[in-house]
Structure formats: structure tokens, C-alpha cells
Structure 1
């Protein structure tokens, strides 16, 4: 079983300062949404392998976009990694036929899962994030960049 979840730990960060008001999320740039807004604690497990980053304040949109790109590479049979904006740590994805070997630089844990199961877990995670944040921040749902993740 693959579990990808998040808990929002910060609304927006701009130049190191948290902002909760006065940000028009309908017009926030892709870069701002990806790297500065909606900081979160992530949970990422595959079966018994704990691949959860051991730090807080990971931008949830960056993780979503990074995973989307990683899945596209895996569908082409390509090895890929995703990184984090706040450090040099990586999650590595190595295709093995229809399976994927997942490991990371911040823990010795390693897992193998079906590529389709990884995609299904990401889709469920994406749906949960987009639904929760668009309900909590209605202006966010009007942002064209937000819609890019729904494709």
C-alpha cells in the first residue's frame, strides 16, 4: 500500500515572511505557488518503507509537480529523481518493467511497487490536496496555474 499525505504547516511564505492576508491566490505565479505557498509536512510510505521527509515546511505544490514529472519519466521507462527546494535531498525512482524501485538520500529505506499503484496514489493525493485547498482558499481555484495540476 502506498500512502502520500500532507498536513499544511504554513499558508504562504514570501521572502521568509508568512502571509495569510492580502495575497490574491487567483493571480499568484506558478513559481510562487510551487515554491513559496502551502508549506506542509509530507507523509510518504510504500508498504513498510518509510520514505517520509524528516523535515517540515515542504511546499506541497512543488511535491505535486515533481511527482507528476517523475511519473511521466517512469512511463517512458526512464530513471528519475525529485528534489526538494529546502535542501539537496532526493527521492530516486528506478523503473524495473512495470515496477518501480523507490529510494531516497535521507533514509536507508527502499521499496518496490507497481508503477500503476504509484500513479494511483499520486492521483488520490493530488485530488485531496486540490480539493482541500480550493475549498479553504476559493480564489486559488480560479488560478490558471492551479488548473495545470488537474490535467
Structure 2
């Protein structure tokens, strides 16, 4: 089972003068909503998490949805034996998450985890469902906390591009 989560940082609050209704893509992806994120395999009781406090959590959710779609480019889908790769680069850091899909499974590892530790492994369809749910749940949380964010056209486009599965 997959668990995706976040916590917002108190050390890096959003600027108080932010107009969330008109915030552009750059601000939404890189400047706002900083905190920490995790990706866990609850069945194996293992996780990849950050403890930096500055990860833009909306960018993380958005980026995961992009990656899951990129990993689905082979027309053979779950029958494809050729590995498909994608990386998630954290903003303002050299740290990365690595994704490799082969057949219907996606292995996820991080460059900060020990080399002898095996990657987390998820079913691709389940990962797609969970990343989209995480994105929509995160947007719902953020729009409850920040007036005007629900009226931002970038947020509308993001929700339309990655509907819940």
C-alpha cells in the first residue's frame, strides 16, 4: 500500500502579502507551500522522506503526477520489458528521487538513501491513483488555508490535467 504525505514548515512561511488568486506557476511550484514530504510503502514499513523543511509540497505533488505519466509512454504498458526512467529533482538542491518502471511496477529510490537499501516498489496503476489523490487532497487542504487559491486558473488547470482516477 502506498502512503503519500506532507507537512508544512513553520520556518519557511509564505509571504503574508501573497495574492494566491493571481500567483503564477513559478510561485506555486517553487516559492510557496514549503515543508517536507514522504512516500511510503506501508506494507513493507519503509519510506523515503525529506526533513529539510523547504520542499515546495505542491511542486512535489505536481511533479509526481508528471513522472507517473512519463513512465507510461511505452504503448505496451504493463507488458513492456524495457525499463523507463524518470527523476525528480528537488528545488534548490542536488537531491533526487529516481523512478524506474518495468512491466507494471515502479521502483523508487533516492540518492540520499544507503546504497544497499532496496528501492520502494509500487504497482504503476496504484501509484497513478495515489499521486492524483495526493494532489487533489493537497490542493483541498491548501485552498482551505489560503483565501483565493481556489480561484487561481493555474490550480484549475492542474486539477483538470490530473483528475482523480
Q: Deviations over 1:85-143 (max 9, x none)?
A: 02111111101111111111011341111001111211221121111111121301111
Q: What TM-score do you get using the length of structure 2 for normalisation?
A: 0.81
Matched, 1:69 2:66: yes
* 1:30 pairs with 2:25: yes
Q: 1:120 corresponds to which residue?
A: 129
Matched positions, count: 144
Provide the C-alpha distance between the structure 2 equivalents of 1:143 and 1:103, rounded to a whole number of angstroms: 33
Residue matched to 1:140: 149
Task: Quote the residue 2:51 is aligned against.
Answer: 54
Which runs of 5 or more structure 1 residues have no equivalent in the other structure?
13-18
Match of 1:15 in 2: none
Find the structure with the greater CA-based Rg: 2
> Which structure shows the higher strand fraction?
1
SS in 2 for 1:41: strand
Alpha carbons 1:43, 1:53 under 8 Å: kept? yes
Q: Deviations over 1:13-59 (max 9, x none)?
A: xxxxxx22x22111111001100000012121123332112322210
Q: Structure 2 regions of 5+ residues with no counterpart?
A: 75-83, 161-165
Q: Where does residue 34 of structure 2 map in the other structure?
A: 39
Map of 1:83 onto structure 2: 89
**Which residue of the partner structure matches residue 107 of structure 2?**
101
